[in-house]
């Protein structure tokens, strides 16, 4: 664990040398959603492979860099793409960026992802505010020795996705005339898309969307007492709902189609969190 602290501090020291201002808000952008980072004023860009002990994403639609600067009046630190469990990395590796953000003093985190719609009332292109999640992987980034500097051994998860912020965001979406769903996100390992039977199971368990990210980051951010907002872009309906095969290109294309709505909503969320 001391080694983990050393690694975080080395990464922190490297990033701090590149900063001109202290970031106050973190964002992690999922597949096809990295376009929001292009809205940042006076950006400082740091490639993941430049940062000590960092892993870079190998997935299409992920630029693999931090973009740091001003967005809607706030100094933000944006991950333009993330790493995933299915890339063969440990839970601790894929959540290292969240530990780094916390070490840099960031207390609020917006998590975004592209997800498959399980709720049959959803349609491709919808945005979903995450109210809760189901970790269906059998793994957890907090397994192993706990260090009190990070957070408690047994963290409470009852308000992982800040309830008070969700109320504000729903009102915001209504005022912007943006169709915003709210629901439960189920995390599977990937990289395969879910089978029709697995999607049926997810619906029975209470999930509204399924995906391959976000939950490990939310667990670690919650462990570190960060305030969390989660937004899923429903880029496709999950297997078995529509009679058509799934592919990653569809995910990227749908995210591209709703980019303006996504940018509008998240930009306004930044103002109120």
Hey, where are the domains in the chain?
A: 2-272
- Quick check: 217 and 14 in contact, CB under 8 A? no
Q: Is the pLDDT of residue 20 over 80?
A: yes
pLDDT band at 243 (very low <50, low <70, confident <90, very high): low
- pLDDT, residue 119, reads 96
CA angle 94, 215, 186 (to 5 degrees): 135
The pTM assigned to this predicted structure is 0.93
Percent of all residues in the chain with a pLDDT value above 90, rounded to a whole number? 76
Q: How far is CA 19 from CA 89, 110, 116, 233, in A?
A: 28, 20, 36, 30
More confident residue, 78 or 59: 78
CATH superfamily membership of 2-272: Nucleoside phosphorylase domain (3.40.50.1580)
Q: Is the pLDDT of residue 176 over 80?
A: yes
The residue written with tokens 């509008």 in the block is 264
Q: How far is CA 22 from CA 39, 150, 174, 210, in A?
A: 18, 20, 32, 34
- Quick check: 235 and 114 in contact, CB under 8 A? yes
Q: What is the pLDDT of residues 230-239, one digit of tens each?
A: 999 998 887 7
Query: Average pLDDT, stretch 264-273?
Result: 93
Q: What is the pLDDT of residues 181-217, one digit of tens each?
A: 999 999 999 999 999 999 999 999 999 999 999 999 9
What is the distance in angstroms between the CA of the first residue and the CA of the last residue of the chain?
32
pLDDT band at 59 (very low <50, low <70, confident <90, very high): low
- pLDDT, residue 256, reads 75
Query: Average pLDDT, stretch 117-123?
Result: 94
Contacts of 58 (CB under 8 A, 6+ apart): 87
Whole-number average pLDDT of the chain:
91
Q: What is the pLDDT of residues 85-106, one digit of tens each?
A: 999 999 999 999 999 999 999 9
Q: Dihedral, CA atoms, 217, 127, 48, 20, nearest 10 degrees?
A: -100
């Amino acid at each position: 664990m001391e080694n983990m602290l050393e690694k975080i501090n080395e990464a922190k020291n490297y990033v701090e040398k590149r900063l001109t201002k202290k970031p106050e808000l973190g964002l992690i952008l999922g597949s096809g959603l990295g376009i929001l980072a292009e809205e940042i004023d006076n950006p400082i860009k740091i490639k993941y492979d430049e940062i000590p002990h960092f892993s870079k994403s190998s997935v299409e639609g992920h630029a693999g860099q931090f973009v740091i600067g001003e967005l809607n009046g706030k100094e933000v630190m944006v991950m333009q793409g993330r790493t995933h469990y299915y890339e063969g990395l440990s839970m601790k590796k894929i959540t290292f960026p969240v530990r780094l953000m916390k070490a840099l003093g960031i207390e609020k985190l917006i998590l975004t992802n592209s997800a498959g719609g399980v709720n049959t009332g959803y349609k491709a292109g919808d945005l979903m505010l995450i109210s809760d999640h189901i970790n269906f992987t059998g793994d957890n980034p907090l397994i192993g020795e706990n260090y009190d500097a990070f957070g408690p051994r047994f963290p409470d998860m009852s308000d992982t996705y800040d309830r008070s912020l969700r109320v504000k965001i729903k009102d915001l979406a209504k005022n912007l005339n943006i169709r915003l769903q709210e629901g439960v996100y189920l995390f599977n390992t990937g990289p395969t898309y879910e089978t029709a039977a697995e999607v049926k199971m997810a619906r029975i368990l209470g999930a509204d969307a399924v995906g391959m990210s976000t939950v490990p980051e939310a667990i670690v951010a919650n462990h570190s007492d960060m305030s969390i907002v989660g937004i899923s872009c429903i880029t496709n309906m999950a297997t078995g709902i529509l009679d058509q095969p799934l592919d990653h290109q569809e995910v990227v294309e749908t995210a591209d189609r709703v980019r303006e709505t996504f940018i509008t909503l998240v930009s306004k969320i930044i103002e109120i969190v």
